[in-house]
């Protein structure tokens, strides 16, 4: 007979985990976390928020309806692409709200971690298993750069006379850096899967799940259109918003020039993980606009104005929506 019966051992930790009070406190903490994250982000980037808002306030107000419409269409398109990556039919309203909240989370965490976390939780709460939800995110992440690259390659065919490829194509060092980052990531994954045997089964299982869902999706024309069409429209829609912001500030470039400048800049800087692409993409876009002959201050004002419109102004409402979705257990 044991001197220390198992029944006599304290079970407080398990009881604490299952306690309704603990669960309620944990949910309140998760509810407040987005607002705390927003406050910290605003303190760090306060000067950019203030200066960018002042620049946007000086824009031509006649462009305001178009700017608001384009910004809203961006969220609708994001929800459309997410639906295209899942065979099941998702509720349109909650899906759109989740993508509005995911956009806010995406701008405070690097490499789309925030948006993916929100979407992953949304898919799970709507009955999609973790493996298939993760496969959906992987498919979405794979399709987006492929679609953008295809648009980038096809665009000069339709607008050959207005594009200055020699000034916008990344330099040799940038191309080498992008290639090195991609090769390092792929090599690391291959080595880990090969050396760490416990990883092989879940990784291969994930790959099988992803391939199965991808095959099913590509037998449905509506899903193919949503996934690939939405992914191709997304960068063009973003660039059109930038062109509208530039037009309101007096930018003299054509729509095609701004679109191609954004495609080239975002492709070149996309290998650098930054919150929502802020930083590397902004710098590359300013450089691309200047390459077309735009004054540096106007190019900078255009990019900052775009960030104010699409990131900073929707950030607080987006975090409030995220908080509400967590509180209502939609996430």
| pLDDT digit string, tens, across residues 183-209 | 676 677 666 656 666 665 666 666 777
Taking residues 267-287, report their average pLDDT.
66
User: Is 29 part of any domain?
Assistant: no
User: Is 233 part of any domain?
Assistant: yes
As to burial, measured by CB atoms within 10 angstroms (0-12 exposed, 13-18 middle, 19+ buried), residue 261 is buried
Statement: residue 310 has pLDDT above 60: yes
pLDDT, mean over the chain: 76
Residue 279 belongs to what domain range?
A: 46-327
3-state secondary structure 181-245: HHHHHHHHHHHHHHHCHHHHHHHHHHHHHHHHHHHHHCCCHHHHHHHHHHHHHHHHHHHHHHHHH
Statement: residue 11 has pLDDT above 70: no
- Which tens digit of pLDDT belongs to each residue from 134-163? 989 989 988 998 899 899 888 888 887 656
Taking residues 202-219, report their average pLDDT.
78
Taking residues 175-179, report their average pLDDT.
60
Using 50, 70 and 90 to split pLDDT, how confident is the model at 292?
confident
Work out the percent of the chain whose per-residue pLDDT is above 70: 65
User: Is 215 part of any domain?
Assistant: yes
Record the tokens describing residue 231, joined without a space.
């992914």
Q: What is the pLDDT of residue 17?
A: 45
Statement: residue 255 has pLDDT above 70: yes
User: Is 200 part of any domain?
Assistant: yes
Q: Which of 278, 214, 284, 245 has its CA nearest to residue 70? A: 245
Q: Is this model's pTM higher than 0.85 or not?
A: no
Using 50, 70 and 90 to split pLDDT, how confident is the model at 2?
very low
If one counts the domains in the chain, the total is 1
User: Is 21 part of any domain?
Assistant: no
Using 50, 70 and 90 to split pLDDT, how confident is the model at 298?
confident
CA dihedral 168, 256, 140, 286 (to 10 degrees): 40
User: Is 5 part of any domain?
Assistant: no
Q: What is the pLDDT of residue 50?
A: 65
Statement: residue 289 has pLDDT above 80: yes
Using 50, 70 and 90 to split pLDDT, how confident is the model at 231?
very high
User: Is 120 part of any domain?
Assistant: yes
268 φ, ψ (degrees, to nearest 5):
-70, -35
Taking residues 167-173, report their average pLDDT.
53
Provide Rg for the chain, Cα atoms: 23
Count CA within 13 A, CB hemisphere, residue 51.
Answer: 10
Statement: residue 14 has pLDDT above 60: no
Which of 31-35, 49-53, 97-101, 119-123 has the weakest average pLDDT?
31-35
Separation CA 248–CA 246 (nearest Å): 5
Separation CA 41–CA 23 (nearest Å): 27
User: Is 287 part of any domain?
Assistant: yes
Taking residues 42-56, report their average pLDDT.
61
DSSP summary character for residue 171: P
Separation CA 117–CA 164 (nearest Å): 39
Separation CA 39–CA 34 (nearest Å): 9
Q: What is the pLDDT of residue 10?
A: 45
Statement: residue 42 has pLDDT above 70: no
């Amino acid at each position: 007979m044991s001197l220390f019966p198992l029944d006599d051992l304290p079970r407080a930790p398990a009881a604490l985990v299952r306690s309704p009070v603990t669960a309620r406190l944990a949910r309140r903490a998760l509810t407040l976390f987005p607002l705390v994250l927003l406050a910290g982000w605003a303190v760090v980037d306060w000067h950019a928020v203030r200066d960018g808002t002042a620049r946007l306030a000086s824009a031509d107000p006649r462009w305001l309806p178009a700017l608001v419409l384009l910004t809203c269409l961006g969220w609708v398109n994001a929800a459309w692409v997410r639906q295209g990556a899942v065979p099941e039919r998702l509720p349109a309203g909650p899906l759109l709200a989740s993508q509005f909240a995911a956009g806010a989370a995406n701008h405070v965490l690097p490499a789309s971690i925030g948006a993916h976390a929100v979407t992953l939780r949304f898919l799970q709460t709507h009955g999609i298993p973790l493996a298939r939800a993760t496969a959906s995110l992987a498919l979405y992440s794979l399709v987006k750069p492929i679609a953008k690259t295809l648009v980038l390659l096809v665009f000069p065919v339709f607008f050959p006379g207005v594009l200055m490829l020699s000034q916008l194509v990344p330099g040799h060092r940038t191309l080498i850096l992008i290639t090195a980052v991609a090769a390092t990531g792929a090599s690391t994954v291959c080595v880990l899967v090969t050396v760490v045997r416990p990883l092989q089964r879940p990784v291969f299982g994930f790959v099988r799940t992803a391939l199965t869902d991808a095959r099913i999706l590509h037998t449905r024309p509506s899903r193919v259109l949503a996934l690939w069409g939405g992914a191709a429209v997304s960068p063009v829609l973003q660039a059109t918003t930038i062109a509208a912001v530039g037009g309101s500030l007096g930018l003299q470039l054509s729509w095609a020039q701004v679109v191609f400048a954004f495609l080239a800049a975002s492709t070149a800087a996309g290998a650098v993980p930054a919150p929502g692409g802020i930083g590397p993409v902004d710098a590359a876009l300013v450089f691309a606009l200047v390459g077309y002959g735009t004054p540096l201050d106007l190019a900078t004002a255009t990019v900052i104005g775009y960030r104010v419109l699409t990131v900073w102004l929707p950030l607080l409402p987006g975090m409030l929506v995220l908080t509400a979705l967590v509180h209502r257990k939609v996430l």
